Amino acid sequence: MSEKINPEFLNQMQIYEALALGVLYSFNAHVDGHIAEFGTNTGRTAQWIAASMHEYEQRLQSKGLELNDIKSLHLFDSFQGMPEAQHEADKASPDVVNGTWGAGALKTMSADKLYSTVSKIIDAKKVLVFEGFYSTTLPMIPNESRYSMIHMDSTLYLSTFEVLDYLFGHGHVAEGALILFKGWNANRARNSVGERRAWLEVGEKYDIIPSDPAYFAWQGVKFFIHGYRGMPSS
């Protein structure tokens, strides 16, 4: 082949595609609830999700149709970078050892900047930024909130487990919700660390019935949630 295809561009396009199709799915398949991202760093994927939401809303309007499902975008991050790895599974991760995911790493965009950037794409009333480590922001989710789509991009096992344990434990995950993990294959795709470990443990704890995995880009996977112990009826 004479033309060059940039592999990084190809990869980013697959991530964009997975997020955009996730947004379309949550609207078109009438999945209850908002859209959440855990781990915003540069704001890139948050903007892609917002752009996909905007695109959907615009298309409906151009057909003269009313949006009857109001979804907001909930964005969670410490905005202080990565927490210090505390669990053995995280301390042993090659990306923690080499400093890529070290304490304070991946601190790029402030909460205010993220809010103003995303609010230029979708209505500011639909943008909620939860600033702080998850242990402090998860309890701020209103009891009645459901999520139709969850983008997990927190890299560490403990951060991922903390989020999933809270969301499933409090019935925030709607029937049919789509969960995307962007760091699934990091760390040699080991099941003993990272997002894979968190998912295995939470799956057992809440008897989660997921769809078969669907992979995207070099590192991602997504599942639909068919059921779990404590799932709210809709």
Nearer to ligand SAM by C-beta: 33 or 83? 83
Contact region with ligand SAM (CB under 6 A), list: 23-31, 58-66, 152-160, 215-223 = 152-160
Per-residue contact track with ligand SAM, 154 to 193, x per CB under 6 A? Answer: xxx--x----------------------------------
Nearer to ligand SAM by C-beta: 26 or 40? 40
Nearer to ligand SAM by C-beta: 26 or 78? 78
Supply the minimum distance, in Å, between the C-beta of residue 107 and ligand SAM: 6
Nearer to ligand SAM by C-beta: 158 or 231? 158
Nearer to ligand SAM by C-beta: 47 or 72? 47
Rg (CA), the chain: 17
d(CA 28, CA 176): 12
d(CA 77, CA 75): 7
Per-residue contact track with ligand SAM, 191 to 220, x per CB under 6 A? Answer: ------------------------------
Q: Scanning residues 47 to 86, which ones bind ligand SAM (CB under 6 A)?
A: 77-78, 81-83
134 binds ligand SAM (CB under 6 A): yes
Contact region with ligand SAM (CB under 6 A), list: 1-9, 153-161, 196-204, 217-225 = 153-161
Task: Assign 3-class secondary structure to the chain.
Answer: CCCCCCHHHHHHHHHHHHHHHHHHHHHHCCCCCEEEEECCCCCHHHHHHHHHHHHHHHHHHHCCCCCCCCCCEEEEECCCCCCCCCCHHHHCCHHHHCCCCCCCCCCCCCHHHHHHHHHCCCCHHHEEEEECCHHHHHHHCCCCCCEEEEEECCCCHHHHHHHHHHHHHCCCEEEEEEEEECCCCCHHHCCCCHHHHHHHHHHHHHCCEECCCEEECCCEEEEEEEECCCCCCC
Supply the minimum distance, in Å, between the C-beta of residue 131 and ligand SAM: 9
Nearer to ligand SAM by C-beta: 72 or 108? 108
Task: Name the nearest CA neighbour of 101 among 116, 111, 86.
Answer: 86
89 binds ligand SAM (CB under 6 A): no
90 binds ligand SAM (CB under 6 A): no
Residues binding ligand SAM (CB under 6 A): 39-42, 44-45, 77-78, 81-83, 106, 133-134, 153-156, 159
